[in-house]
Each structure stands twice: as structure tokens, then as C-alpha cells.
Amino acid sequence: MSKVLMKGNEAIGAAAIAAGCKYFFGYPITPQSELPEYMSARLPKIGGVYLQAESEVAAINMVYGAAGTGKRVMTSSSSPGIALKQEGISYIAGAELPCVIVNMVRGGPGLGSIQPAQSDYNQATRGGGDGDYKLLVYAPGNIQEMVDLVQLAFDKADYYRNPVMILGDGMMGQMMEPVEFKEMPKMDLPAKDWATTGTQEKRKPNVINSLYLAAEELEQHNIHLQTKYQEMIDKEIMFEEYNMEGAELVIVAYGTTARISKAAVDLLQAQGIHVGLIRPITVWPFPYQAIKDLPESAKNILCVEMSMGQMIDDVRIGNEGQRPIHFVGRSGGMIPTPQLVIDKVKEILNGGK
């Protein structure tokens, strides 16, 4: 298929359908409402179901139910809505069901604003629900990558039997860009013999549940979950490096702020200042090793975020105390400019002046 021009939110919908998702349960919230709107128009035409639930809590529990049948299912929301879904997300992770959850982050806390932000990083990477669970979290940097990662997310969700999150922000959801729907490589996936699809009286019923009253059993379940998370750490980390060789300072940023930072890196390069960029594409698992192995030339690290600095902790873990870590960002729905990043880089290189 040739290139088309799409808005981030509708591109996610098209990508999900291309990945075989026919079921969507959600509740509208700015700045992601184009996605449920797109699904509401499309899914009934392909024999699927779009359902606008009475709340985010209802929507995530519908996802729980639909995922239990082994069908590909998606929900989406923005920050306060995703906060409401946390209980269900923990249940889905506990019951080991695949699904894809989209968060187009907006300013918080609370109702916050409707403008873009990245202040749900901790919620996404640490888990907003209860218990020892993890989500595989992709943070796309442009609409094409978002289209590709949404399709990959469904495969990974099936493979790990775990929820996968697409962590965007309002700008990624609203921005228009050329995209192409490529034939994705087919992943070899295990049969969904755990799904509740009717026994035909030929097997024992499958049970989907996150309740384990025997402590020994629940501990074993947790140990099993951890082996999956370890496999994700071993196999799923994705990041991009840009302009790294010989860089005297390295910026770490994801999503929209990575894009802004890349513009800053190019503008600085034109002024003879060599700055590199590490862009985590998975924010969980996080590319700690890439932070640990920065080139010798890099003497400082700068985190750029649309939050008050939530990713700093992960950069600190990877850094292992090697280099000073700085931060620059905007919050509440404000978007940093390349100039803000440039000024901060110069301030750091001039020794804080």
C-alpha cells in the first residue's frame, strides 16, 4: 500500500485493524478520541465490535473479558482515564492475558490539561496497579514507528500473554504525518489453548483468574511471571542512538521530546557542538546498558522530558554513578522548544553558567 497522510490516533486504529484486532472497548477523552471514533466507524464493517463503555473501569474489564477468549483486543485513553484502568490492567497481567493499551498522555496530575505531556512514565513503567507485574511499554517517536509498533505490540502481547502499552502523548496522537502500512514479518506464536472458547465437552474448562488463595501457589505464579519479564528484558529492549560517536554530552529522551532533542542536536552540530541522543523505544524494559556504555567522550547526561523529570531514575540506574545527570523539561502541557534544550546544553558545557 502506498503512503497516506494520517493523524497519529487514526493511524493507531488502522494499524490495530491491520494486526487483526477486531474488538475495541473505550471511553472518549481528549487528546485520543479520534482513535475510538475511528474504531467505531470501522470495526462494525469488518465484523468486529466497538463498544463505548460507561466508564474507563468498565472498558478495561470488557478488554479483560474479550482477551480471555483469545481474540485481539485494544483499549485506549489518556492519562486520567489510564489511571482509572489500573486495577483492570493488574488483573489482566495477573491472569496472563494479551491486550494492547494506548495512552496518549496529557498534562497531570488529576484532570490536568488536554495538552501533551510525558508525566505518566512512572505509571507505565512501574505499574499503577497492585502486585509484581510489568507491562511491555513502547514509546514511538513518529507516526510511522507508531504504526509499526502497534502491529508488533499485538504479536508481543500474544507471545508473552501480557498487556502491552503504547505510550504516546497528545502531540503524537494529533500530529499528521505520511505513513505506510508495510507487510509485517509474521511471528511464530503459540496456540491459544488457554482461551475460554467452549470445551465442546472434549476438554476441561479453561479458567481465567488472578485469584490464588493459597500463598504457595501465588508465590509460584509470581515466580513464573518474573521469568516472562526477564525474557522481555533479555529480548525486547529497543532504542535508537543518534550522533553518538565523539559526543561530549548525551541527551536521553523518548517520543516527542526525542524529536525536539534531535532538532536541537542538529542545530548544535551546526554550531560545532557535538551532542548525542539516546532514544529509548521501549521504556520498559529500559535500555540501561546503552546508558552504561556511553562513549568515553561524553562527560554529561541530559534528560529532556515533558514532565518534572520521571525518567531520570532509570537513567540514574543505567549510569551507575559515572556521569552527572541533568534535566530540562516543561510540564502541564507545555512543549519544550529545541532552543530550550540548546540553552541547557550550553549551560552544562559552560560549567553551569
What's the Cα-to-Cα distance from 301 to each of 72, 139, 253, 283, rounded to whole Å?
40, 20, 11, 17
3-class SS at 227? helix
- The C-alpha cell 490536568 sits at 112
Query: All 3 cell numbers of residue 93?
Result: 497481567
- In the complex, the smallest distance separating the C-beta of residue 22 from another protein, rounded to whole angstroms, is 19
Label residue 240 exposed, middle or buried (CB < 10 Å: 0-12, 13-18, 19+). Answer: middle
CA 237 to chain centre: 12
Cα gap 172→214, rounded to integer Å: 44
- In the complex, the smallest distance separating the C-beta of residue 104 from another protein, rounded to whole angstroms, is 11
CB atoms within 10 A of CB 114: 15
3-class SS at 104? strand
- The C-alpha cell 515466580 sits at 223
Cα gap 320→315, rounded to integer Å: 9
- In the complex, the smallest distance separating the C-beta of residue 113 from another protein, rounded to whole angstroms, is 5
The nearer residue to another protein, 70 or 168, going by C-beta atoms, is 168
The nearer residue to another protein, 14 or 328, going by C-beta atoms, is 14
The nearer residue to another protein, 228 or 259, going by C-beta atoms, is 259
The nearer residue to another protein, 10 or 148, going by C-beta atoms, is 10
Interacting residues toward another protein by CB under 8 A: 3-7, 10, 14, 30-31, 34, 113-115, 170-171, 174-178, 259-260, 262-263, 333, 335, 337-338
- In the complex, the smallest distance separating the C-beta of residue 152 from another protein, rounded to whole angstroms, is 22
Query: All 3 cell numbers of residue 19?
Result: 494486526
The nearer residue to another protein, 318 or 333, going by C-beta atoms, is 333
The nearer residue to another protein, 195 or 263, going by C-beta atoms, is 263
Contact 82, 100 (CB under 8 A): no
- In the complex, the smallest distance separating the C-beta of residue 27 from another protein, rounded to whole angstroms, is 16
- In the complex, the smallest distance separating the C-beta of residue 114 from another protein, rounded to whole angstroms, is 5
The nearer residue to another protein, 65 or 80, going by C-beta atoms, is 80
- In the complex, the smallest distance separating the C-beta of residue 224 from another protein, rounded to whole angstroms, is 43
Contact 27, 77 (CB under 8 A): yes
